[in-house]
């Protein structure tokens, strides 16, 4: 171990060490795909050892699952969609997070490949269900199957629009921001028909 590695490795309690590992993993997975990041790199970025990483998370896959679970959470929405500015601010914060965690997000929306991981898919499904709940609350819309279906359709558009921005480079961030903001406001009008 080099002197700089020894200087970066400090004694932390278990919860602080776990958080340090998660933060480092999120940074690495944000810029590189899962398969391109080794456990040695994860440990070095967290200022710890591979043994310590395995102690806290078991495997690289378990660590990645925890990063996905955390990333799948949305920023707190505004209280209601009374003003378009609230929605615009909500999507601005969310797009900041997506942009800062580009590779993690792209790997999440690409999970529908034939080799999909059921646990990653379950974490994403839980995150999408939380989206449904939050967006229904933001829209102040009744919790009906129709409104949940409308929100799921909106979610599909969100995934497609961000893919066009991040992977295909056919839309830019402002295009996506505008589309999502206008789309959610239109969804509020449509969901009101269920009342």
Per-residue pLDDT of the chain (195 residues; tens, 9 = 90+): 454 444 355 667 888 999 999 989 988 887 787 888 999 999 999 999 999 999 999 999 899 888 888 877 655 544 455 555 578 888 888 888 888 878 777 776 664 443 567 887 787 788 788 878 888 888 888 999 999 999 999 988 998 999 899 989 999 999 999 999 999 989 988 888 765
pLDDT value of residue 148: 93
132: Cβ–Cβ under 8 A, 6 or more apart, which residues?
148, 151, 152, 155
Residue 177: C-alpha distances to residues 57, 73, 90, 137 (Å): 36, 18, 10, 20
pLDDT value of residue 98: 85
pLDDT value of residue 7: 39
Statement: the pTM of the whole predicted model exceeds 0.75? no
Token duo for residue 63: 């660590």
Burial class (CB in 10 A: 0-12, 13-18, 19+), 126: middle
With DSSP H G I counted as helix, E B as strand and the rest as coil, what are the percentages for the chain, rounded to 5?
Answer: 75, 0, 25
Q: Is there a contact between 108 and 167 (Cβ–Cβ < 8 Å)?
A: no
Burial class (CB in 10 A: 0-12, 13-18, 19+), 150: buried
């Amino acid at each position: 171990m080099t002197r700089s590695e020894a200087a970066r490795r400090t004694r932390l309690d278990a919860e602080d060490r776990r958080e340090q590992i998660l933060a480092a993993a999120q940074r690495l997975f944000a810029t590189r795909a899962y398969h391109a990041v080794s456990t040695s790199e994860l440990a070095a970025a967290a200022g710890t050892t591979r043994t310590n990483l395995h102690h806290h998370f078991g495997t690289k896959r378990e660590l990645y699952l925890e990063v996905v679970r955390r990333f799948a959470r949305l920023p707190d929405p505004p209280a209601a969609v009374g003003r378009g500015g609230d929605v615009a601010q909500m999507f601005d914060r969310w797009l900041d997070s997506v942009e800062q965690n580009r590779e993690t997000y792209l790997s999440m929306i690409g999970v529908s490949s034939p080799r999909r991981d059921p646990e990653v898919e379950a974490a994403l499904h839980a995150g999408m269900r939380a989206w449904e709940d939050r967006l229904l609350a933001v829209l102040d819309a009744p919790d009906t199957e129709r409104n949940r279906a409308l929100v799921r359709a909106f979610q599909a558009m969100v995934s497609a629009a961000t893919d066009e921005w991040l992977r295909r480079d056919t839309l830019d961030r402002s295009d996506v921001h505008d589309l999502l903001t206008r789309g959610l406001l239109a969804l509020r009008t449509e969901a009101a028909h269920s009342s």
